[in-house]
Amino acid sequence: MKKRFGHLPDYQQEIDERFGNFQPVKNQQTLWFHVVSVGETNAAQPLIEHYLKLGQAVLVTNTTRTGQARAKALFADKYPKLFQAVFLPIDQKYLIERFIQCNQPRMVLLMETELWCNLLECIHTHKIPLALLNARLSEKSAKGYAKFKRLTVPMLQQLDFIAAQDDATMQRFIDLGMRTDKIQVLGNVKFDITTPQQFIQQAQQLRQDWQLAQRNIVVLASTHTPEEKQILTALQTALRQDPTLLCLVVPRHPERFDEVYQSIQQLDFIVQRRSLGQTIQTNTQVYLADSMGELWLWYALAQVAYVGGSLNQPGGGHNILEPIALNVATVLGKNYFNFQTIVDEFVQQQAVLVVENAEQAAQICLTLLHDTAQRQQMNDQAQHIMQANQGAVARHIALIDGYLQP
């Protein structure tokens, strides 16, 4: 496992790149997308894909190895000449300046909320168009920025445009000092989600090969410490009494895979691991999906999903739209402030369920597994909301095109 996860062999490459030992530049005059990690990479996917298909070279910078691995998995093989993914240098002027001079991007597009003082100043100084796309700003984050307005206001003034996800985000940016003529609500590109067909087909094959047709499957997705252990503990009795019940566990961070496996073993479950090539057996109670880039597959196998990072502290939550796109009834914890506006809309229509603790999460997941009518009602409501919110990708492309015109 050490060779694949944790402090990996590519750790040194990350350190080198972030401190100035840059990769050879593949293209100049690129569209430079800065995406922090996996979530932002997935959000930017339709935008990046659109421009690569048009023959526009794209540079992606990340600040996490998981984000870079995701970007490469999406585009490196498909667009070997046009696409490059590298690590963003640390926010030091001399490094950012040299990075910009090497790459000479055509436009810089920051995803969601990624504001660094020197990065923004250097890009602005070079008169490169700079936009914050799919922007989100929670009330908590806005209060943090407000404490440092002498830094925040100049940063916002260096942005050419902010494409906000919702009215609340737009108002928070305006309150922090963003000009009203440089910000607009364009919606959330995550609603324009496209389910990868290869994972649906793979799930259908695995359902047959692993004899899953009669299994009641709940996936604990993108979990953090101590969510897996707490929810599995609450599911102990059900897992031992019901041989049809199966729990798929997908930890958010790969460096925790071994730790989570040990926790599952301590609970004395019959467990298999994806990383070892093990398959789900008829007596498997817990399957540890310790792999990268396969979350869609595990959602596609399940009837119910708990989306993690939402019961831990401080939490913040993860993307609920992926399971919803697959008609998987979705449950999450109360600490979902990173996706506040999205989740609130689904909660108001009873299209997702929010829980207070691990015991309630386990109980509601079990209830939904056995109540097909409630599951179907939730899924129907969720699909109505998804359809009503689509179109943000096209609006973002129109915005970008406006800056790319000669």
| Cα–Cα nearest to 119, from 110, 85, 133 | 110
Per the rule left: phi > 0, alpha: psi between -120 and 50, beta: everything else, 107 is beta
d(CA 57, CA 279): 40
Can you say how many angstroms the Cα of residue 393 is from the centroid of all Cα atoms in its chain?
16
d(CA 386, CA 157): 33
Q: Classify residue 246 as exposed, middle or buried by CB count within 10 Å of its CB (0-12, 13-18, 19+).
A: buried
Q: Which two tokens stand for residue 46?
A: 């339709």
Residue 121 appears among annotated catalytic residues: no
| Cα–Cα nearest to 328, from 187, 406, 218, 198 | 218
Residues 92 and 118: beta-carbon distance below 8 Å: yes
Residues 197 and 267: beta-carbon distance below 8 Å: no
d(CA 27, CA 96): 17
Can you say how many angstroms the Cα of residue 293 is from the centroid of all Cα atoms in its chain?
11
Instruction: Give Cβ neighbours of residue 36 (< 8 Å, ≥ 6 apart).
Output: 62, 63, 64, 67, 111, 112, 114
Q: Which two tokens stand for residue 93?
A: 């002027």
Active-site residue identified among 17, 40, 112, 322 = 40
| Cα–Cα nearest to 28, from 71, 57, 51 | 57
d(CA 349, CA 124): 43
Q: Classify residue 9 as exposed, middle or buried by CB count within 10 Å of its CB (0-12, 13-18, 19+).
A: exposed
Task: For the chain, state the CA radius of gyration.
Answer: 22
Residues 325 and 300: beta-carbon distance below 8 Å: no
Q: In angstroms, what CA-CA distances link 210 with 18, 284, 325?
A: 43, 10, 24
Provide the annotated active-site residues: 40
